[in-house]
Amino acid sequence: MNTDIRKIRFVVSDFLAAYVSWVFFFFFRKKVLDEGGVHSEEYLKLFLGAAAIASFWVLLYYLFGFYHDIFRKSRIKELLNLMHASFWGCIIIFLTTLLDDLGVNDYQKYYQTLLLYFVLHFGLGFFSKLLSITYIKHLIKSGAISFNCLLVGNSDKVVRSMQELQKANHILGLKFIGFVSPDETTSSVQFTDVRFWGDTSQILKVIRRCKVDRVVICINPTEHIKIKELTNLLAGSGTKLSVMPDLYQILIGSVKVEHVFGVPLIDIDHDLMPFWQKVLKRWIDV
């Protein structure tokens, strides 16, 4: 799957939604303020201004992390995040663009125009994102998009975990490429459908070789030291790290739990800094 192309589609979709919402707002605003029709010389200014406003929104969405991990978006979370971003974006545009509007002679008109723009932008923006996320989920469900998954465990623990994950695999989109074992004694003969890659000392090589997107730990909850070693080992690999639900008591307080159609996965997030803070820190460091 080409992640960059799909990200560009998200960006273009957001740009067009922001562009159209500003154009609609321009015409509706004239009706609210009783300014009459649009003169021909205003169209060029309108279209250039709409492009600038849409570019601002794309930059704001980037800072809010909307283009990060686009294949695992939730519609509800995206709705809440978009509402948050739209609120602050509309406030910024209001203070920089609409506050000194010469056509406003009543302060209540400010509230009306601000609310009008928020509703237009949020409505079209969410509709655009809803279509994009639904399309991505359709591709995952159809198998056009899949994520290479490596299991960590031994004995029948790996088999049971695979059986549980398979129940929701039309949503998760996992492609099981095999497993590694924390014990060197595990034999690949025990598993006819799953490839055995060796012990956990080979895990980074397997991740690079097979371009693994997600690692699922299926180790018994009593093996605390091995779990900690694995989480530290994979901290900088750029791979999603999850554990099966019976490890919840071990990792409580440092993980995020996601329930996907009856299959709860505990996501271990080593990167707790919000995306906009990472961008700001990187910009300051440079």
Same domain, yes or no: 137 and 158:
no
Structure tokens at 68: 């990060």
Q: What count of residues does the chain have? A: 286
Same domain, yes or no: 108 and 166:
no
* DSSP annotation string for 147-188: EEEEEE--THHHHHHHHHHHHTHHHH-EEEEEEEESSTT--G
Which CATH number do you get for residue 222?
3.40.50.720
Same domain, yes or no: 9 and 124:
yes
Q: Does position 250 have pLDDT exceeding 50, yes or no?
A: no
Q: Does position 132 have pLDDT exceeding 80, yes or no?
A: yes
Query: Considering Cα of 70, then 72, then 75, then 79, what sign does the dihedral take?
Result: negative
Instruction: Quote the pLDDT of residue 105.
Output: 66
Q: Does position 51 have pLDDT exceeding 80, yes or no?
A: yes
* Over residues 127-141, mean pLDDT: 91
Residue 7: inside a domain, yes or no?
Answer: yes
pTM of this prediction? 0.77
Q: Mean pLDDT, the chain, as a whole number? A: 79
pLDDT band of 114, cuts 50, 70, 90: confident
Residue 245: inside a domain, yes or no?
Answer: yes
Instruction: Quote the pLDDT of residue 118.
Output: 95
